[in-house]
């Protein structure tokens, strides 16, 4: 379709069509709200967004790159991240997002593997990202466009700034709009096992999922969204960027981690999607102000309890949320139940990069803790003979870029995606995930251990932020844990481990009482150093790099075992 013959009602064809639609229908409504480093905030209307995108697309056209060239985006979430994505599409190219926390080797691999022709560099500072490492992986021959809030980067003589390009380039006036079936983006997996794979998604997939979100959950243009999970991740890309463009709703951005609560309060989102680590941090922060013991006393009180629960949601900036979703990794049932007590019906869902994060979600009317819910609209789910979850739906990828063999391995002859997850389906269609096939390991006794169910039991403890069950070289599995941030601060301050020692011994006994003999944990090892993306023990989506954690401590396992203690302070 050519812009000259564009029909403003054809927003279902691509995000670019959506941008034109809303710029015509509600040109002066605010689409993007961006906080700046100096504390000020900038709003971009639909018309302003379209103008900047058209100017950048015109510049990209002037470069005369081959059609469907791959153009990368590196940076934290920002208004101009989304504008860059739209400009790439408007100019007839394919976007390749990079996590702002990836390491040098991964950055080098993706830039080379995806054959990137140009790189947009956005909001980065080397503090909560790995910019100082990543910049070493950028080839000197690769042209870069520096978005607002980007770092000072002079490696290329031909670097251009977004501001200069916008000021000097007239907006594109007549061009072909994206074809629905053409490749839109390569989203590289986080690479928790092996090298990351480039997942190919077309525009039809992205827009189909957005359309289904509108129909199934009654979402509309009045929604307020906060974008802070990496836009390089499929969940944020589809459920925040694409859905906001399809629905025409307002997107807010966070400035940094220190201002997150303030940013959340500004946004007052109606749809809020997060990962277990943040939901648990929210709870931990409230527990510091109002102890769990006091909560048990105050929450049931008819007047005081109601006011307190409402005040807590207001302080968290979640008092306007109509749809709250947790995903990416399992969240302990006790944490979900705590939010339900506050009046926030937190729904656990499930999806993968390979199916555009569109698979399962618990319905609000029947939220069953311990499951990831029922299939979303048009999704089919079945189990293989081995218990592997197989999925088929509108979000299924075209395949892996340059890897037809791996594509053939993961998609069955009748179009079902092999997830690599083990699961159980009850009579009502609710799916319970029981672990990853690749995560199962064998102890020195030759017994197989599925770590995830054990980790979920341990994760019910408010003193634990992260846990990894491993120890394959030992006769019994062990649990390696990272303490909750506030618990660690308290321990550092007073130095007394006695209470925690008793608490973890009791936790170990309680969990072991629910396990088969071969599953019982030998001990709990409490780690000193945190697991982070920077030290390679977490993926950019904050999932534990299980094998890397195991390898990092393997030499210590037998030493820990010889201590003959239920709790080991590593």
Rounded CA-CA distance 329/558 in Å is 30
Residue 57 in 3-state DSSP? helix
**Per-residue confidence at 11, pLDDT binned at 50, 70, 90?**
confident
Which residues, including other chains, have CB under 8 Å from residue 414's CB and lie 6 or more apart? 392
pLDDT in tens, 312-351: 999 889 999 999 999 878 888 889 999 999 999 999 999 9
Asked which of 240, 257, 275 is the last residue of a domain, the reply is 240
pLDDT in tens, 455-485: 989 988 888 989 999 998 899 999 999 998 8
pTM recorded for the entire structure: 0.87
Q: Which region, left, alpha or beta, applies to residue 134 given φ > 0 means left and ψ of -120 to 50 means alpha?
A: alpha
* 139 found inside a domain: yes
Residue 128 token pair: 């909560």
CATH code for the domain of 507: 3.30.300.30
Rounded CA-CA distance 138/102 in Å is 13
* 232 found inside a domain: yes
Asked which of 220, 240, 260 is the last residue of a domain, the reply is 240
Q: Residue 155: what pLDDT?
A: 56
Task: Look up residue 496 and give its DSSP letter.
Answer: -
Cβ burial of 52 (10 Å; 0-12, 13-18, 19+) is: buried
Q: What are the distances in angstroms from CA 138 to CA 77, 78, 164, 196, 230?
A: 20, 21, 22, 18, 20
Task: Look up residue 416 and give its DSSP letter.
Answer: -
* 297 found inside a domain: no
CATH code for the domain of 163: 3.40.50.980
256 C-beta neighbours (distance < 10 Å), count: 15
- In what helix (H) or strand (E) does residue 490 lie, and over which residues does it extend? helix 485-494
Which residues, including other chains, have CB under 8 Å from residue 43's CB and lie 6 or more apart? 30, 32, 33, 34
What is the number of domains present in the chain?
2
* 184 found inside a domain: yes
* 272 found inside a domain: no
* 284 found inside a domain: no
**Per-residue confidence at 436, pLDDT binned at 50, 70, 90?**
confident
The b/e string for 381-394 (b: 16+ C-beta within 10 A; e otherwise) is: beeeeeebbbbbbb
Interval 19-48 mean pLDDT: 95
Q: Residue 491: what pLDDT?
A: 87
Task: Look up residue 376 and give its DSSP letter.
Answer: P
Rounded CA-CA distance 228/549 in Å is 26
- From the list 496, 480, 452, the residue with the least C-alpha distance to 567 is 480
Q: Residue 353: what pLDDT?
A: 94
Q: Which domain holds residue 446?
A: 440-569
* 118 found inside a domain: yes
Asked which of 240, 266, 297 is the last residue of a domain, the reply is 240
* 163 found inside a domain: yes
Rounded CA-CA distance 422/431 in Å is 10
**Per-residue confidence at 191, pLDDT binned at 50, 70, 90?**
low
Rounded CA-CA distance 329/331 in Å is 7
pLDDT beyond 90 at 223:
yes
- From the list 421, 396, 409, 553, the residue with the least C-alpha distance to 482 is 553
Question: Whats the size of the chain, residue-wise?
Answer: 570
Residue 23 token pair: 């710029």
- From the list 96, 100, 88, the residue with the least C-alpha distance to 132 is 100
Rounded CA-CA distance 471/568 in Å is 14
């Amino acid at each position: 379709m050519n812009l000259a013959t564009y029909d403003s009602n054809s927003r279902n064809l691509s995000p670019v069509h959506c941008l034109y639609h809303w710029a015509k229908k509600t040109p002066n409504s605010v689409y993007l709200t961006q906080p700046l480093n100096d504390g000020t905030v900038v709003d971009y209307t639909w018309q302003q967004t379209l103008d900047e995108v058209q100017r950048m697309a015109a510049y990209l056209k002037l470069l005369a790159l081959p059609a469907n060239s791959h153009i990368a985006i590196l940076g934290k979430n920002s208004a101009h991240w989304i504008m860059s994505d739209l400009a790439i599409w408007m100019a007839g190219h394919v976007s390749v997002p990079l996590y702002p926390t990836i390491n040098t080797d991964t950055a080098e691999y993706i830039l080379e593997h995806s054959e990137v022709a140009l790189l947009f560099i956005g909001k980065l500072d080397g503090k909560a990202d790995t910019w100082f490492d990543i910049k070493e992986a950028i080839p000197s021959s690769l042209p870069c466009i520096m978005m607002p809030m980007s770092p000072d980067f002079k490696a290329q003589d031909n670097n251009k700034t977004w501001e200069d390009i916008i000021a000097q380039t007239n907006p594109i006036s007549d061009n072909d709009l994206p074809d629905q079936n053409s490749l839109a983006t390569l989203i590289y997996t986080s690479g928790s096992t092996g090298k990351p794979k480039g997942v190919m998604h077309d525009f039809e997939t992205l827009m189909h999922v957005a359309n289904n979100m509108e129909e199934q959950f009654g979402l509309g243009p009045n929604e307020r969204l906060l974008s802070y999970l990496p836009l390089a991740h499929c969940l944020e890309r589809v459920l925040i960027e694409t859905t906001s463009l399809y629905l025409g709703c307002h997107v807010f951005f966070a400035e940094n981690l220190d201002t997150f609560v303030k940013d959340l309060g500004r946004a007052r989102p109606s749809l809020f999607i997060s990962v277990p680590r943040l939901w648990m941090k929210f709870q931990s922060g409230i527990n510091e102000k109002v102890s769990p013991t006091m909560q048990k006393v105050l929450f049931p009180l008819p007047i005081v309890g109601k006011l307190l629960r409402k005040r807590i949601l207001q302080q968290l900036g979640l008092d306007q949320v109509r749809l709250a979703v947790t995903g990416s990794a399992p969240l302990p049932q006790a944490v979900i139940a705590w939010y339900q007590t506050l009046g926030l019906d937190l729904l656990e869902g499930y999806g993968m990069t390979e199916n555009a994060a569109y698979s399962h979600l618990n319905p609000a009317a029947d939220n069953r803790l311990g499951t990831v819910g029922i299939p979303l609209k048009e999704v089919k789910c079945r189990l293989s003979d081995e218990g592997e979850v197989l999925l088929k739906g509108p979000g299924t990828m075209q395949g892996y870029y340059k890897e037809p063999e791996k594509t053939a391995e993961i998609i069955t002859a009748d179009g079902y995606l092999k997830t690599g997850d083990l699961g159980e389906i009850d009579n009502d269609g609710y799916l319970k995930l029981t672990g990853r096939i690749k995560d199962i390991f064998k102890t020195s006794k030759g017994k197989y251990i599925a770590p995830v169910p054990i980790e979920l039991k341990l994760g019910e403890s408010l003193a634990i932020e992260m846990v990894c069950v491993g120890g394959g070289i030992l006769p019994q599995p062990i649990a390696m844990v990272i303490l909750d941030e506030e618990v660690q601060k308290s321990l550092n301050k007073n130095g007394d481990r006695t209470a925690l020692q008793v608490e973890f011994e009791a936790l170990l006994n309680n969990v072991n009482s629910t396990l088969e003999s071969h599953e019982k944990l030998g001990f709990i090892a409490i780690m000193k150093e945190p697991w982070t993306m920077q030290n390679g023990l977490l993926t950019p989506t904050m999932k534990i790099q299980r094998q890397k954690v195991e390898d990092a401590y393997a030499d210590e396992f037998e030493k820990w075992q010889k201590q003959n203690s239920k709790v080991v302070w590593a």
